[in-house]
Structures are given as structure tokens and as C-alpha cells.
């Protein structure tokens, strides 16, 4: 999929380079659901806001260690991406940033660390 991403997602969805590594280890069921979700957005069958999503809490955004887990590369620069789709199986997430008519995907994977989980 990675080598054909521009063919499958030519207009709306843009993958941050970190996603290449993430999708190599992701569960097939989760991967299929994530790609299906993103294709629906790419084909304008659904909006990103049609899915169960939210931004991170203030406690995550204000904690440098937790915030670092949500920094992804967009146009060669590290940016904080806090919005995430939550409707994937097993607590997996898709982190995204809307910018203009593009949606940058920074992360597809397991739930990122939170303060209460002490995963960092």
C-alpha cells in the first residue's frame, strides 16, 4: 500500500513519513478498517467529522513527554497532531491534521500514552 499511496489517495489524504513504519506492524483487521475509513474520506463519501473523533486533552498537550508522542512530520517539520479518530478496533487510533483541503495522517496505531497509563 505504501508504494501506491499517492495512487490510492491522490487528492485529500496525505501520509506523514512515520506512517510507513506503523503500517508494517499493524493488525490486518485494523489496517483494513483504517484504509477503508481513509478511502471514504478521500472519495468524499464521508467527512473526517463523520467518525468518532476528538482532540487530546489539555493535560496531554501541556505535558512535553506525552506531546512528543504526537509529533509527526509534515512538509519536513515536526508538528503536534492532536485530533484522532477513535472508531478502530482494539483501541487503535488515526491521528490527523486538517490543513486547507488536505488531511495529513500522522499516526495509525495503538492508543498513544496518556498520563494515567504511565506508558512513557
pTM of the model: 0.92
CA-based torsion, 64, 120, 17, 45: positive or negative? negative
- What pLDDT tens digit does each residue of the chain (120 aa) get? 899 999 999 999 999 999 999 999 999 999 999 999 999 999 999 999 999 999 998 888 889 999 999 999 999 999 999 999 998 998 899 999 999 999 999 999 998 988 655 544
Class of 2-108 in CATH: alpha beta
- Confidence at residue 120, expressed as pLDDT on a 0 to 100 scale: 42
State how far the Cα of 82 lies from the Cα of 98, in Å rounded to an integer. Answer: 11
Say which residues have a Cβ less than 8 Å from residue 63's Cβ, sequence separation at least 6. Answer: 115
Amino acid at each position: 500500500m505504501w508504494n501506491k499511496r499517492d495512487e490510492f489517495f491522490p487528492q485529500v489524504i496525505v501520509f506523514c513519513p512515520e506512517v510507513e513504519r506503523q503500517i508494517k506492524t499493524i493488525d490486518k483487521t485494523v489496517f483494513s478498517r483504517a484504509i477503508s475509513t481513509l478511502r471514504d474520506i478521500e472519495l468524499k463519501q464521508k467527512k473526517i467529522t463523520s467518525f468518532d473523533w476528538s482532540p487530546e486533552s489539555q493535560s496531554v498537550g501541556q505535558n512535553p513527554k506525552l506531546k512528543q508522542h504526537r509529533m509527526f512530520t509534515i512538509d519536513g517539520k515536526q508538528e503536534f497532531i492532536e485530533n484522532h479518530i477513535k472508531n478502530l478496533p482494539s483501541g487503535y487510533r488515526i491521528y490527523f491534521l486538517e490543513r486547507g483541503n488536505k488531511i495529513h495522517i500522522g499516526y495509525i496505531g495503538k492508543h498513544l500514552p496518556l498520563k494515567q497509563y504511565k506508558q512513557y
